[in-house]
Chains A and B, each alone.
Chain A
Amino acid sequence: MEDYEIVKGARGDRRYTATDYIRKMIPDFMELHGDRLCGDDRAVVAGIGTLGKTPVTVIGIEKGKTTAERIRRNFGNAHPEGYRKSLRLMKQAAKFHRPIVCFVDTAGAFCGVDAEEHGQGRAIADNLYEMADLPTPILSLIIGEGGSGGALALCHSDRIWMLSDAYFSVVSPESCANILWKSTEKAAEAASALALTAPKLYRMGLIDRVCPADEKRKLAAEMEEELRLLSELPTAELLDARYRRFRKVGY
């Protein structure tokens, strides 16, 4: 399949969204709301529950399925409040030595006047800065769209896994084509040049596993096992490995 087809497929409206994965994998999930500063961003679903037999903190970016739901979820474009909620609960997870699972599916962080003035840049920067040092295992799974900084904010993790039909990119192929070649019609060309598919990113050493898209039960077991292995590491070793994971990127 062409890379651009993968991007379009990852945006498809019949795909499983974050709450589907949460329902299947963490049946006793309890949602916890709010950033304790000023709001509750419905684009970010967060809470606690059990993955197999392991208590975990769960963060997901939710796009919604019906039109009404999508509007309520702001189409999965999080505001700073959403990232701050995620950080609040990730810090709580660390307090109780609970591993963290992130389900990432967003075209990007929301672009708007409020989002800017409430510090979108700072909110993402805070997640990167705090997750770098968070003393509990973090596993991120990209289930659809991994759109730039808005997705990266939930991917400063020990493991980044991707579904085989998901994408992760610095910029949307359309924006890229528009900026570089003043034509959104070259989006397919841009998609292929950006190397944004799971197999390509795996070969580049930027993600840790490509997961078959159709085996959710098996995937849940693999995630639990991976978190168990990570939990066995002494904290200093875990954080050191996390540092090296990102340190080696690119040069």
Chain B
Amino acid sequence: MDLKNLFLKAGNAPEGSGFLKSRFVNCRGCGKKLAVARVRKNMFVCPECGRYMAVRARRRILMLTDRRSFTELDREMESRNVLSFPEYEEKLAAAREKSREREGVVCGVAAIDGHRCAVFAMDANFMMGSMGAVVGEKITRLFEYATAHHLPVLGVTVSGGARMQEGMYSLLQMSKVSAAVRRHSNGGNLYIVLLTDPTTGGVDASFAMQGDITLAEPGARIGFAGPRVIEKSLKQELPKDFQRAERVLDCGFVDAIVPRSEQKACIAKLLALHGM
């Protein structure tokens, strides 16, 4: 066994390539050493202090959908360095290794307590869940698929925003996905979005804020601009719970904050209420 994997700091991205090989993690909230099995059983919420750890896209889907019900769509799609942007290929390669995914979003169709639903989940381990052309395309295709088949969509967001390395191709994904969300909505279909930590930038300013029902994980950072940008440009100290899910709910932009252990049941209930 690789010794350096025996103890890992469980930060916002504890599920990197080393995580599953290790037996213990240190919670970044309380600093306690925790058995991985115990953390996993508690859905990656620290059993000691309640801190929410990051969850990779595929596990997120497992946590929210019925066992063996998930069929992936567009798994093969990979980004290319269309602008010949410096160091982008290396970053993509590192992201693929770290996340064990081809891109920053996993899409497909699944059942949630028996309700059929199109699902996408973003992955923070892939370049901070940034949205390039492939992420935008996969989510657009999922909405188009859901529109054609009259399926609801569940989206789990985590993203730093548009991916700089693809320039305007990235920014315009916001427009592309928004248009597909709109068509899905025009068809009378339900879109539930679950905002997780962090959902910011161009994703916050597009499909993360276009759900019929907007749920959030406790403590998740949700906002357009990064807090450091604001602090730096305004030279003012920020309120303690600034851009946190609880505060965002108080401001009127989230319907409900749902603990991880209750998310699947909550989503199933919403699907049932909409007759989906």
- Please give the residue numbers on chain A whose beta carbons come within 8 Å of chain B beta carbons, in ascending order: 109, 111-113, 115-122, 124-126, 128-129, 132-133, 148-149, 152-153, 155-156, 168-171, 176, 179-180, 189, 193-196, 201, 204, 206, 242-243, 246-247, 249-251
Contact B86 A189 (CB under 8 A): yes
Is B201's CB under 8 angstroms from A149's CB? yes
Contact between B176 and A249, CB atoms less than 8 A apart: yes
Q: B236 contacts A113, CB within 8 Å?
A: yes
What is the interface of chain B, defined by CB distance below 8 A to chain A?
77, 82-87, 132-134, 136-137, 140, 162-164, 166-176, 178-183, 186, 201-202, 204-210, 222-225, 229-230, 233-234, 236, 238-239, 242-243, 247, 251-253
B167 touches A109 (CB 8 A): no
Contact of B238 among A113, A120, A148, A189 (CB under 8 A): A113
Is A193 in contact with B83, judged by CB distance below 8 angstroms? Answer: yes
The 8 closest A-B pairs by CB, nearest first: A250-B133, A111-B225, A121-B204, A128-B178, A125-B209, A124-B205, A251-B137, A121-B224
Partner of A129, one of B173, B181, B201, B238: B181
Interface of B is mostly: helix
Q: Which residue of A lies closest to B206 (CB)?
A: A125
Contact A170 B164 (CB under 8 A): yes
Contacts A120-B224, A125-B209, A193-B83 given: A111-B168 contact, CB under 8 Å? no
Separation in Å of the A116 CB from the closest CB of chain B? Answer: 5
Contacts of B179 in A (CB 8 A): 128, 132, 156, 242-243, 246-247
Return the chain B residue nearest A151 by Cβ.
B171
CB contact between B168 and one of A124, A196, A243 (< 8 Å): that residue: A196
- Using Cβ atoms and an 8 Å threshold, which residues of chain B touch A170? 162-164, 166-168, 170-171, 202
With A189-B86, A195-B167 known as contacts, the answer to whether A152 contacts B174 (CB < 8 A) is yes
